Structure 1
Amino acid sequence: MTTCVDEIADGIFRISTSVPIPAVPGGFTFNQILIRDAAPLLFHTGLRSLFNVTRAAIERVLPVASIRYLGYSHVEADECGAMNDFLAVAPAAVPLCSRVGALVSMGDMADRPPRALGDGEELDLGRHRVQWVDTPHVPHGWDAGLLWVSTARTLLCGDLFTQPGAELPPITEGDILGPSEAMLAGMDYYACRDKARTTLARLAELRPETLATMHGSSFRGDGASLLEALSATLAEPTGVR
């Protein structure tokens, strides 16, 4: 495994671990997004099995003990598997999630009570402000949501634009939709395509300039157009690519 740390926007770092997975030719990346600020925030704790390498990578940017918020999109091992491990080494940290997530999962799973955010609720980290956006069932998970960093025009977009491959640049201005559609063709993980199209249109209205992905390269450029293009592909019947 290889873990890399790259600044993809002002004060926003992508921590990426490449993992060989037999089902995914070329390997796969698990990314965490770290916001360095007065109240540091980590989005996606990553798998519990990757905790040690993720912790070491974070220490290259800031002390792990200083983390204040441990956010995630929806309950899955790669989203929040290492939650309690991080809570144990970051004494002031709290889980950050949707109200649904706190109610049905994290309120019981976490060793510390979560901070539940409502749709559109903002959080001041210091230099940066983040806003929670509810995205239920998009791409999956009743509790799903994403974070919009308005001060950096950056959308922490979770499983949207999931790309296979281990040897990928940390950020690109090239095509990430094509590879993500190829991945989706063999593993359709969208729970509700009609709802997804409505949600993607709402995200496009934010006009992000950086899309920080959880798997694969992040994107720099016209994020609104890319989100609209993703929405258009979801109008096609499943399996048509």
Structure 2
Amino acid sequence: MVITNSQSGTNVEEIADGLYRINTPVTLPGDSGGFSFNQYLIVDDEPLLFHTGPRKMFALVREALASVIAPERLRHIAFSHVEADECGSLNEWLATAPQASPLCGTVAAMVSISDLADRPPVALADGQGVSLGRHTVRWIDTPHLPHAWECGFLMEERTGTLLCGDLFTQGGADLPPLTSSDILGPSEAFRRSMDYFSHTRNADAMFEKLAQLEPTTLACMHGSAWSGDGAGLLRSLAQSVRE
């Protein structure tokens, strides 16, 4: 793990071939354990950043990304849904990378990003893929899972990595970049303390759709990324949410 900013603790770690986790730990008021924000960089012919981080964190994320590639090389700025930590600094990234475009689902493009973004978005339908070079990402619609009508995730097929956004959110600021230990217990404890799931009636079907992708790495937005039987863990999460 490389610390790119000693004051904030922002750091970078390669968690799969060509796929880097950028992490910034933070302290939240009244929470001694802290929290963290992750972005994921896929280095390829057409580099992709998944999650921008909040606008006020842009300089830290840019500094970290620049330790891996020149920021102006970015071609895709992707995110799960419209929220500050997902796409708050979208326009700052578009200004930094003149060839980059927002990459999102069709609903996000229609209801928000076509208006909010300084350049037109590339809108992906459910199951549509984009080749980055050696890597291919495929958009998976998951409306209201865990929340937001426009929500969806990217599956990176070469490494078997599911960029799963807010699923498996773990509290804490001092967690390893990648783990094979239990994250379901900590993430469910966090969810039960501050339930951010919409509990859509279609959750089971969407969890199963994600499980059938058989990911071997889960790139979580908050906390550690995870390595193992992703299908089994997604089905276990579905059961826990159902109960």
Q: Would you identify which runs of 4 or more consecutive aligned residues in structure 1 move more than 2 Å?
A: none
Distance 1:23 1:122, change over 3 A: farther
Q: Give the SS at the match of 2:64.
A: helix
| Contact kept? 1:193, 1:234, Cα under 8 Å | no
Q: Give the SS at the match of 1:164.
A: coil
Instruction: Tell me the distance in 2 between the aligned counterparts of 1:183 and 1:165.
Output: 10
Aligned to 1:130: 137
Instruction: Output the amino acid matched with 1:231.
Output: A
Structure 2: gaps (5+ residues):
1-7
Aligned to 2:17: 10
Question: Cα RMSD between the aligned structures?
Answer: 0.8
The Cα shift of 1:197 comes to 1.9
The Cα shift of 1:23 comes to 4.5
Instruction: Tell me the distance in 2 between the aligned counterparts of 1:43 and 1:23.
Output: 29
Aligned to 1:239: none
Instruction: Output the amino acid matched with 1:86.
Output: W
Question: Is it true that 1:177 corresponds to 2:154 in the alignment?
Answer: no
The Cα shift of 1:11 comes to 0.4
| Contact kept? 1:24, 1:164, Cα under 8 Å | no
Instruction: Tell me the distance in 2 between the aligned counterparts of 1:184 and 1:103.
Output: 29
- Of 133, 152, 161, the match for 2:159: 152
Question: Is it true that 1:84 corresponds to 2:91 in the alignment?
Answer: yes
Q: Give % identity.
A: 54
Q: How many residue pairs end up in the alignment?
A: 236
**1:82-126 CA-partner distances (Å, limit 9, x unpaired):** 000001110000000000000000000000000000000000000
| Contact kept? 1:129, 1:151, Cα under 8 Å | yes
- Of 149, 170, 173, the match for 1:166: 173
Aligned to 1:202: 209
Q: Give the SS at the match of 1:152.
A: coil
Structure 1: gaps (5+ residues):
237-241
| Contact kept? 1:210, 1:219, Cα under 8 Å | yes
Instruction: Tell me the distance in 1 between the aligned counterparts of 2:204 and 2:37.
Output: 25
Question: Is it true that 1:118 corresponds to 2:125 in the alignment?
Answer: yes
Distance 1:114 1:224, change over 3 A: same
TM-score under structure 2 length normalisation: 0.96
Instruction: Output the amino acid matched with 2:218.
Output: L
Q: Which moved more, 1:191-200 or 1:115-124?
A: 191-200
| Contact kept? 1:8, 1:170, Cα under 8 Å | yes
Q: Give the SS at the match of 1:38.
A: coil
Q: Which moved more, 1:34-43 or 1:16-25?
A: 16-25
Instruction: Tell me the distance in 2 between the aligned counterparts of 1:113 and 1:192.
Output: 32
Aligned to 1:28: 35
TM-score under structure 1 length normalisation: 0.96
Instruction: Tell me the distance in 1 between the aligned counterparts of 2:147 and 2:200.
Output: 10
- Of 207, 212, 218, the match for 1:211: 218
Instruction: Output the amino acid matched with 1:35.
Output: I
Q: Give the SS at the match of 2:213.
A: coil
